[in-house]
């Protein structure tokens, strides 16, 4: 039976493996038909930042196309697409105050700005909540 | 009826420049204001949040001063006035040489061995 899961994320992109773990869990939940809510708090609002850009990697000897490095925004866009494809739901809310303090308003399409009230609503409608905090 | 949430705060004194307080204490205030049924457990270094009289003032870089420094002990004390129960792990308090008289009023002490029983009282347990 499909469930609704809420994830509260805090880490910015790249700094540690927790963000990757979170995306793995979200991917798995969506593939299994569960609905997923995400409340991106603090540095996590930069995960879907639209101005992330790939770059060539001289150490690898590859140009930007060959390097083909997905930025976190690409992974999140893919998760949104996955949810649409299999009829599940990914509702990703960016903490508005966190966005403002970081100048991170330019996010990819398909997300929305919100507040702790959205987290509360998520929690109430979810079967469970997983906090993946910054350490 | 809202789900009962126990929010464990362990990572202490991080990101205090963001809200000029602890971001999870801030979030707890916001959730409570939105109607959540949420309590807080301070453990590890975060038990120091409950030590009264902390003074983080004086931060300045160049001629830019922080005029509203974090007042985390006061923010925690305000939670208790909003019907948020604030627990502290008593061994974590003792291990840090903190005397009971140094703590703000309105706290509930819980032993490490009592945590599992406490957790069982809640629908969700979050660990920050």
For residue B1, what pLDDT band results from cuts at 50, 70 and 90?
A: confident
Q: How far apart are CA A47 and CA A93, in angstroms?
A: 12
Residue B17 confidence class, pLDDT cut points 50, 70, 90: confident
What interface predicted TM-score (ipTM) does this complex get?
A: 0.88
Q: Specify the pLDDT at position B115.
A: 98
pLDDT (0 to 100) of residue B65: 94
Across the interface, of B23, B35, B126, the residue whose CB is closest to A129 is B126
- With beta carbons under 8 A apart, name residues in chain A contacting B35: 120
Render pLDDT for B76-117 as a digit per residue (tens, 0 to 9).
999 999 999 999 999 999 999 999 999 999 999 999 999 999
Inform me whether the pLDDT recorded for A5 exceeds 90. yes
Q: What is the pLDDT of residues B25-78, one digit of tens each?
A: 999 999 999 999 999 999 999 999 999 999 999 999 999 999 999 999 999 999
**DSSP secondary structure, B24-53, as one string:** HHHHHHHHHHHT-EEEEEE-GGGGGGGBTT
Contacts of B31 in chain A (CB under 8 A): 116, 119-120
Mean pLDDT of A78-105: 97
* CA end-to-end distance (rounded Å), chain B: 24
Nearest CA in chain B to A128: B124
Q: Is B96 or B18 the better-scoring residue by pLDDT?
A: B96
Q: Name the nearest CA neighbour of B30 among B79, B72, B73.
A: B79
**Which residue, chain included where needed, has tokens 């929010």?**
B7
pLDDT by residue (tens digit) across A105-128?
999 999 999 999 999 999 999 999
Residue A44 confidence (pLDDT) above 90: yes
Question: What does each C-alpha distance from B122 to A49, A88, A93, B6, B62 come to in angstroms?
Answer: 35, 28, 25, 6, 47
Contact A93, A39 (CB under 8 A): yes
CA A39 – CA A44 distance, rounded (Å):
9
Q: Which residues of B touch A119 (CB under 8 A)?
A: 27, 31
CB contact under 8 A, A120 and B124: no
- Whether the full predicted model's pTM is greater than 0.90, yes or no, is yes
| Rounded Cα gap, residues B124 and B7, in angstroms | 8
The mean pLDDT of A60-89, rounded to a whole number, is 95
Give the per-residue pLDDT at A30: 97
Proportion of chain B above pLDDT 70, given as a percent: 100
**pLDDT given at position B18:** 84
């Amino acid at each position: 039976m499909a469930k609704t899961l809420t994830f509260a994320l805090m880490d910015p992109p790249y700094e540690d493996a927790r963000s990757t773990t979170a995306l793995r869990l979200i991917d798995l939940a969506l593939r299994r038909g569960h609905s997923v809510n995400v409340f991106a708090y603090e540095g996590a609002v930069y995960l879907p930042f639209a101005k992330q850009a790939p770059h060539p990697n001289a150490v690898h000897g590859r140009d930007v196309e060959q390097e083909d490095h997905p930025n976190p925004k690409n992974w999140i866009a893919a998760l949104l697409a996955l949810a649409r494809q299999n009829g599940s739901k990914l509702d990703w809310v960016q903490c508005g105050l966190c966005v403002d303090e970081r100048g991170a308003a330019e996010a990819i399409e398909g997300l929305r700005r919100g507040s702790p009230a959205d987290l509360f609503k998520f929690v109430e409608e979810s079967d469970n909540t997983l906090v993946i905090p910054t350490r | 009826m809202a789900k009962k949430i126990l929010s464990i705060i362990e990572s202490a004194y991080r990101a205090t420049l963001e809200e000029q307080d602890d971001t999870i204490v801030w979030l707890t205030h916001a959730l409570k204001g939105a109607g959540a049924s949420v309590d807080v457990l301070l453990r590890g270094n975060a038990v120091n949040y409950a030590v009264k009289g902390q003074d983080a003032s004086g931060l300045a870089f160049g001629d830019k001063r922080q005029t509203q420094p974090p007042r985390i002990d006061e923010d925690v004390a305000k939670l208790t006035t909003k019907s948020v129960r604030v627990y502290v792990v008593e061994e974590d308090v003792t291990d840090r040489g903190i005397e009971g008289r140094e703590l703000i009023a309105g706290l509930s002490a819980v032993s490490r061995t009592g945590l599992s029983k406490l957790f069982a009282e809640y629908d969700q347990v979050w660990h920050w």
